[in-house]
């Protein structure tokens, strides 16, 4: 027969056991909740461009310029200059000629031009639009960065891609055509950061981007050290990337 003391001890053991079970369940619940929390990733981009190497002086200037197609000018009397590290936003309603002006700066043969144009050689201009055409569809992130920075070791390329949130083996070796719009935007910017141009032109890049990617693009562009020309209808985006000057009609 068990004594009163034995029974008390047994009860204590049972209640101890159920407490432990309850604690263990609570722990599982909390771990489950933690997994649900989506922690936004922060990009800390590094541009392969030191302050001394940022192009100085006037990067481009257009004086009394005009642009158009065929034999018709669509925008006359363009007077615009961009200086070292300056951030210029091109403004104007849809169809006003912003993309045409960019094509003019890139010497696109479709565009007719008049006036005085002093623009950097096309090879020194980085251009990015919402189609990310600088990315070859069949190449991987690894291949794309190694092409623009052939002097980098595999480890250096991985480190650079890591800054732009390409971290897993699958992410760096996947073909561009299988990447999401947000991943393509990040990869295009990683490509530009690995080999920064004299003048960076962005034509409506945030159209169709989700909020998180838009945030990443902002984090990257805020750090960009060179001259930039941006077309966007998103006023918050323009404010966030610290535009210095607005030009349009
Ligand atoms: N290849 C082209 N040939 C003829 N006209 C064009 C061509 N591309 C655009 N346009 C016309 O030029 C005008 C300006 O277009 P665009 O530069 O794309 O404006 P935005 O970029 O400001 O929206 C529009 O009226 C457009 O229809
Ligand atoms: Mg346009």
**216 has pLDDT over 60:** yes
pLDDT of residue 248: 94
The dihedrals phi and psi of 83, each to the nearest 5 degrees, come to -105, 170
List CB contacts of 36: < 8 A, sequence separation 6 or more: none
Residue 7 confidence class, pLDDT cut points 50, 70, 90 = low
Please give the distance, rounded to the nearest whole angstrom, from the Cα atom of residue 231 to the centre of ligand 2: 8
Distance CA(49)–CA(77), nearest Å, equals 34
The ligand placed nearest to the CA atom of residue 71 is 1
Q: Single out the residue of 136, 140, 145 nearest to residue 172, CA to CA.
A: 140
Please give the distance, rounded to the nearest whole angstrom, from the Cα atom of residue 97 to the centre of ligand 2: 7
pLDDT of residue 212: 87
Q: Could you tell me which residue, 48 or 13, shows the higher pLDDT? A: 48
Q: Could you tell me which residue, 39 or 136, shows the higher pLDDT? A: 136
Instruction: Take atom 9 of ligand 1 and give the residue whose Cα is closest.
Output: 100
- Mean pLDDT (whole number) for 144-168: 94
Closest ligand 1 atom to Cα of 97: 17
Q: What predicted TM-score, i.e. pTM, was given to this entire model?
A: 0.82
Among 73, 74, 112, 233, which residue has the most ligand 1 atoms within 8 Å of its CB, making it the best to mutate?
A: 74
Instruction: Take atom 11 of ligand 1 and give the residue whose Cα is closest.
Output: 95
Residue-wise burial string across 33-48, b where 16 or more C-beta atoms lie within 10 A, e elsewhere = eeeeeeeeeebebebb
pLDDT of residue 34: 61
């Amino acid at each position: 027969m068990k004594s009163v003391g034995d029974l008390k001890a047994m009860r204590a053991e049972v209640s101890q056991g159920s407490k432990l079970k309850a604690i263990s369940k609570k722990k599982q619940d909390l771990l489950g909740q933690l997994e649900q929390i989506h922690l936004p990733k922060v990009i800390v981009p590094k541009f392969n461009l030191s302050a001394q190497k940022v192009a100085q002086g006037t990067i481009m200037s257009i004086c009394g310029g005009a642009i158009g197609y065929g034999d018709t000018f669509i925008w006359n009397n363009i007077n615009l200059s961009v200086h070292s590290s300056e951030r210029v936003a091109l403004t104007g309603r849809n169809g006003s000629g912003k993309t045409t002006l960019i094509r003019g700066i890139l010497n696109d043969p479709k565009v007719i031009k008049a006036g005085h144009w002093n623009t950097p050689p096309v090879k020194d201009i980085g251009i990015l639009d919402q189609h990310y055409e600088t990315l070859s569809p069949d190449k991987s992130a690894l291949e794309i960065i190694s092409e623009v920075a052939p002097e980098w070791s595999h480890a250096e390329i991985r480190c650079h891609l890591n800054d732009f949130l390409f971290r897993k083996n699958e992410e760096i070796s996947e073909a561009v055509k299988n990447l999401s719009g947000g991943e393509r935007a990040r990869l295009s910017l990683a490509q530009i950061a690995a080999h920064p141009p004299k003048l960076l032109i962005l034509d409506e890049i945030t159209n169709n981007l989700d909020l998180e990617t838009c945030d990443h693009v902002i984090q990257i562009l805020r750090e960009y050290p060179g001259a930039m020309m941006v077309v966007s209808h998103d006023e918050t985006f323009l404010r966030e990337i610290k535009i210095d000057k607005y030009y349009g009609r």
